[in-house]
Amino acid sequence: MRVSTRFSDSIHILAFIEIYQEKKLSSELIANSIETSPVVVRRLMSTLRGAGLIATKKGTAEPKLAKESKQITLLDVYLAVEKDRQLFTLDTNTNPECIVGGNIQKVLGAYYEDAKMAALRKFNNVSLQDIIESILVEQKIKQAKE
Amino acid sequence: MRVSTRFSDSIHILAFIEIYQEKKLSSELIANSIETSPVVVRRLMSTLRGAGLIATKKGTAEPKLAKESKQITLLDVYLAVEKDRQLFTLDTNTNPECIVGGNIQKVLGAYYEDAKMAALRKFNNVSLQDIIESILVEQKIKQAKE
DNA sequence: TATTGTTGTTACTTAAAAAGTTACACGAAA
DNA sequence: TTTCGTGTAACTTTTTAAGTAACAACAATA
């Protein structure tokens, strides 16, 4: 399948909103930074709004974060747009009559959950504020090189 | 896109080979346990062979593990079939002219790597032997319930 | 208040990745 | 020498998400 960039693009949107909060922020302008279409941006923003991460007004190009950037973690964003889906995919169609096929899903599922939890815990320790600060630092590094 | 079950299916194949090592193990028989086609099994086995995890003989249905099951970790299997690809997907097409678009890939990439590493480290601590033992225990639990 | 711009949403199309399928040359073993 | 199986290539189908088009509802303002 096509690989989902929802998580990355959502963080992009949130960082963009916060960094350019004084400006008029249409979905088209944001789409320009992500290099995608305005509808894709609005679709993601709709999800982020549903998860209580941003606040928007219909007809008005003024999206705001619904919480402080320090209070939004990468995990919040991940769960908003990817839900709690499997990170490593079990084959859920194995032969239940077979010793291996009949038990591997439960066994592997437990180890997969364990690995997923380890990854998501990392995301729970990174805030949107961290991302924004890092972006601004990288930008200064770039400029210092010129 | 369709979600890859290569990792799960590969572990399935390896466990199957080890558990039924005395028997004649055609790709068709293994495919029956996974509920897939023999070609899919042979394709995966070809990759596992390339990674030095199994040994096969063309024309003969006698695949063997190339190492002891204790010496094969889930990480070995993962890297064999999924390579070292991104676990969380960066959007690699962002606007370099924009402060966010121009720096977010580097910033997010680092956090993604960190989370991925946490997950893969878990897999490095689980052996095929662990999986097989767990499968056999689950099977006994099942049978005790009957 | 008519116009212009924007959001929010639906429906549809396209793209990409992996599984599934077909086919077949080649090897093994009886 | 026949039968079974592997290894592999080429092609088709399935799945999922991005991209696109369209439009009603809302906001601001000329």
Rounded-to-integer distance, Cα A138 and Cα A54, Å? 25
Placement of tokens 């974060």 in the chain? A65
**pLDDT for res B95:** 96
Provide the token pair at A94: 């194995």
Count of beta carbons in the 10 Å neighbourhood of residue A118: 18
SS3 of residue B68 by DSSP: coil
Nucleotides, chain D, CB distance < 7 Å: 4-10, 14-22, 25-28
| Tens-place pLDDT, residues B78-105 | 999 999 899 999 999 999 999 999 999 9
For the packed helices B99-124 and B74-82, what is the interaxial angle rounded to 10 degrees? 140
Q: Could you give the percent of chain A with pLDDT greater than 90?
A: 94
**pLDDT for res A2:** 67
Rounded-to-integer distance, Cα B68 and Cα B71, Å? 5
Rounded-to-integer distance, Cα A74 and Cα A122, Å? 9
B115 and A115 within 8 Å at the Cβ level: the answer is no
**pLDDT for res B28:** 96
Whole-number mean pLDDT of chain B? Answer: 96
- Model confidence at B124, pLDDT cuts 50, 70, 90, reads very high
Rounded-to-integer distance, Cα B117 and Cα A98, Å? 33
**pLDDT for res A23:** 77
**pLDDT for res A20:** 95
Provide the token pair at A91: 């084959």
Provide the token pair at B63: 């695949």
Angle (CA) B74-B77-B79 rounded to 5° is: 110
**pLDDT for res B13:** 98
Q: Quick check: A91 pLDDT over 90?
A: yes
| Tens-place pLDDT, residues B30-61 | 999 999 999 999 999 999 999 999 999 999 99
Q: Quick check: A121 pLDDT over 90?
A: yes
Q: Is the CB of B46 under 7 A from strand D?
A: yes
Whole-number mean pLDDT of chain A? Answer: 96
Rounded-to-integer distance, Cα A71 and Cα A123, Å? 13
Q: Which residues, numbered 73 to 92 in chain A, qualify as contacts with chain B under a Cβ-Cβ cut-off of 8 Å?
A: 74, 87-91
Rounded-to-integer distance, Cα B141 and Cα B145, Å? 6
Segment B14-43 mean pLDDT: 95
Provide the token pair at B119: 């997950």
Rounded-to-integer distance, Cα B62 and Cα B58, Å? 9
Rounded-to-integer distance, Cα B2 and Cα A91, Å? 12
A5 and B120 within 8 Å at the Cβ level: the answer is no
Is residue A119 a contact partner of residue B115, using CB atoms and an 8 Å limit? yes
| Tens-place pLDDT, residues A32-80 | 999 999 999 999 999 999 999 999 999 999 999 999 999 999 999 999 9
**pLDDT for res B63:** 96
Pick the CATH number of B6-145 from 3.30.390.50, 3.40.1010.10, 1.10.10.10, 3.40.50.2300: 1.10.10.10
Q: What is the largest CA-CA distance in chain B?
A: 66
Q: Could you give the percent of chain A with pLDDT greater than 70?
A: 99
Of B87, B94, B119, the CB nearest to A33: B94
Residue at the smallest CA–C1' distance to nucleotide D16: B1
**pLDDT for res B137:** 98
Residues in chain B: 146
Q: Name chain A contacts of B99, Cβ cutoff 8 Å.
A: 19, 135-136, 139
**pLDDT for res B3:** 86
**pLDDT for res B2:** 79
Provide the token pair at B4: 């890859």
**pLDDT for res A1:** 54
A7 touches chain B (CB under 8 A): yes
Phi, psi at B90, each rounded to 5°: -75, 145
Of A34, A94, A139, the CB nearest to B12: A94
